[in-house]
Structure 1
């Protein structure tokens, strides 16, 4: 009884003082040990696969977003997953990659050259003729899934023809060739990316397509009340209306389809009666979440699009494959807007959480990863509980404060120094600005046109069938092979002659190892 009273008093003291002493950390570690020891590998076939790609979502972005969302001890949706690995993101010709080449690796299982789409390293940037050689084409898991009779779809808050989604369905020598107006005369024999989405396989057979990019799909569109023309993006001028072409294709094939363009139309989608869904919600990218119009005529969140996509795809009795891109994380980082990047990451986490509420990870493999890092870093030594967007401390060199988050490269709005009349360079004092504001650009060391990508490794998180195959440091193209192996598609499809051989060889190696190794150890 006396021991119980002492224990009770200790617990009360811990609760009231919230001191994170040795007792606290041992208790936490024991809880994690119990969870880890109770976990068992899932080796069932993956009927469904959902791949989330946080564009530009570096490890530092995840850490900062976690703190921004709920403090140091909180977790984002995927940080509860039982399996994690590390991916090397370099290209075949660059140490620091772009999104098109990394997406080709993630989706097709083949690393390739900088800024090319769905082709291997035999195709150099801008080489239209080489890209027409089908021997150089890299098919994605979308094509493999369709060959296995599964429904497929993708959701993005960038243009549906942008660098990340494009390798799902296109083969192109330049990621900029989203429409014809960005293509040189030397590329006249090649189709732009938007046409490949609508006219070719596997694009024309993708069940759900949602994102932005109206001005790429349709000629001579005009700005709307909440929808400006994207001056950075391709603007179709050839008179084509690929949205109308998409409708005509589905009508000719007697398919149940729907085209939607705003929140109101998305909310009225009848998933039970729609087999093919095309949602184009913006001329360019969908607006950043902090300024997105949420009214009936506005644009949906990534979570809202993902939920609707799942409702449509889950009707497939053969299973489905879905790719979801949080593309505006990268967009915010390029402009040095850390607050925007962190909010976009949190909204990406919301989409993952909504998905987990809708699926059964017993037969659904869910993967969350990034295509590349960015140049944002977390600097010393801010106090525990401080705003991640705030001031860290004063520099011991010049006595001027600096923020916890900063960029190694940045655009003109990220200039850190001002030159005085006497020619002396002085670092700007960030404490004189609202560093938590969505429009604030964190200071950068090197000024360029924008903040550039990083070349560091990214994390991959997984739950569901064969999620344990992510366990070490992997090449980025490994992701597509895990997907194919878990779902028995592509090179690992037992129903296609010679394709299942790889799967059987790998299984035999595992079985032999499990029999021989214990004997050797003994």
Structure 2
């Protein structure tokens, strides 16, 4: 379906002038960022963004191509080079390590540099690379993680865990003597204020009943009840805290008075947005989780760092579920809208990016308004059958709004993003004075 109005030369000339005037009104914000929110659309490459833009417009009754996603209105845009130290086409572990710590590493490794190899023996977590989480905590800021994957999956794990294999999510999957990723989250990172996502079966003992599913579906072989350990830690500190396992319980939390919130809403990954149970006893949306996180973290006068991952975009692409991937982008956009409405661009830096791209493309010569999707579960055909669709090595976009957002332009190495965020918030010992922009030591 074409647009109903006639789009002659005057239409496009006026539209171009309007966009140009908006760009000319941009002024660099060089304040220190009190808060940082990093949105990661896992696998959200440029074709995925384009398809989501079209889908959004078509759901609103338009042809779709002219639609703009909210983060596409951010004043500064750049490109991120996503290769990792030993691979051209990366995974989420090495890319997340780059995004959080400023160091590129090897395929499937978490918070370690490339001097360590995949599946090397246990590494002392204390020797892991510091990053945005640790720098923020050292500066007295509150911190939070929101994801639609298991909380132990590669992207969130790269914030807090150290492992030479991203798959070491529970003791069942981890070599003897190593501390698994779920255990590291609870026992070594008790200062993370907000933890919202999936993967409850990775935190309950082998003989335990999962509070989400009400059955014994533990992924552990030991007797560690990590959820109870989290509760015990907060009670020992006499710290305000709440635990939630469904939407109703999350909404019942008064986040204005809760310093610590743990929410695990599925046994494994959370559901695709198209499949999500939207009843009170179902799973909250990524937007609802983001709202709670921001409301809670905003109580800290020193500010906060929050990472929000739209994880199911990637997982849908791995199954060639293009429609599900795109609807998860739209749910991700709703979470970004929550952040835009609940923060101030004068003191909050918001970054939207992807860790890597996927192989989905839009091609051929379809007419304007062409419906680009079929049934929800339709899997697009592939020339070569594989167990899982692959990532893509192309650059991904970075969208930036707020203090020092002008740093996120041009073509950037992915690991520079974390340093630019640290500089914006004046956190971390990155060797650059955040007030003068000059190097502080001679080894740079």
Q: What are the residue-to-residue correspondences of 1:292-371 with 2, within 5 Å?
A: 292-371=276-355
Alignment correspondent of 1:124: 117
Pairing partner for 1:111 from 97, 104, 113: 104
Q: What are the residue-to-residue correspondences of 1:21-36 with 2, within 5 Å?
A: 21-36=8-23
Alignment correspondent of 1:20: 7
Alignment correspondent of 1:431: none
TM-score (norm 2): 0.93
* Closer, same or farther: CA 459–481 of 1 in aligned 2, 3 Å: same
Q: Which runs of 5+ in 2 are unaligned?
A: 58-63
Matched, 1:180 2:171: yes
Q: What are the residue-to-residue correspondences of 1:82-231 with 2, within 5 Å?
A: 82-129=75-122, 131-132=123-124, 137-183=128-174, 187-200=175-188, 203-220=189-206
Alignment correspondent of 1:61: 48
Alignment correspondent of 2:235: 251
* Closer, same or farther: CA 290–228 of 1 in aligned 2, 3 Å: farther
8 Å contact from structure 2 (residues 201, 210) kept in 1:
no
Could you give the per-residue CA deviations for residues 343-391 of structure 1, whole angstroms, max 9, x where no partner exists?
00011001101110111010000000000000111111111011122xx
- Higher mean alpha-carbon deviation, 290-299 vs 308-317, is at 290-299
Matched, 1:475 2:413: yes
Could you give the per-residue CA deviations for residues 36-76 of structure 1, whole angstroms, max 9, x where no partner exists?
11110000000000000000001000000100111001111
How far apart, CA to CA, are the structure 1 residues paired with 2:4 and 2:157? 54
Partner-residue secondary structure (3-state), 1:377: coil
Partner-residue secondary structure (3-state), 2:116: coil
Alignment size in residue pairs:
431
Higher-Rg structure is: 1
How far apart, CA to CA, are the structure 1 residues paired with 2:394 and 2:213? 36
How far apart, CA to CA, are the structure 1 residues paired with 2:288 and 2:83? 33
Shift of 1:503: 4.1
* Closer, same or farther: CA 112–381 of 1 in aligned 2, 3 Å: same
8 Å contact from structure 1 (residues 212, 285) kept in 2:
yes
Could you give the per-residue CA deviations for residues 394-436 of structure 1, whole angstroms, max 9, x where no partner exists?
xxxxxxxxxxxxxxxxxxxxxxxxxxxxxxxxxxxxxxxxxx1
> What's the C-alpha RMSD, in Å, of the aligned pairs?
2.0
Q: What are the residue-to-residue correspondences of 1:413-424 with 2, within 5 Å?
A: none
Alignment correspondent of 2:60: none
- Higher helix share goes to which structure? 1
Larger RCO of the pair (alpha carbons < 8 Å, separation 6+):
2
Matched, 1:44 2:31: yes
- Higher mean alpha-carbon deviation, 119-128 vs 86-95, is at 119-128
How far apart, CA to CA, are the structure 2 residues paired with 1:24 and 1:297? 49
TM-score (norm 1): 0.80
8 Å contact from structure 2 (residues 107, 118) kept in 1:
yes
Alignment correspondent of 1:506: 437
How far apart, CA to CA, are the structure 2 residues paired with 1:17 and 1:475? 43
8 Å contact from structure 1 (residues 128, 189) kept in 2:
no
8 Å contact from structure 2 (residues 125, 161) kept in 1:
no
How far apart, CA to CA, are the structure 2 residues paired with 1:173 and 1:328? 24
* Closer, same or farther: CA 459–491 of 1 in aligned 2, 3 Å: same
Pairing partner for 1:272 from 247, 256, 262: 256
Shift of 1:446: 2.0
Shift of 1:289: 1.2
8 Å contact from structure 2 (residues 171, 220) kept in 1:
yes
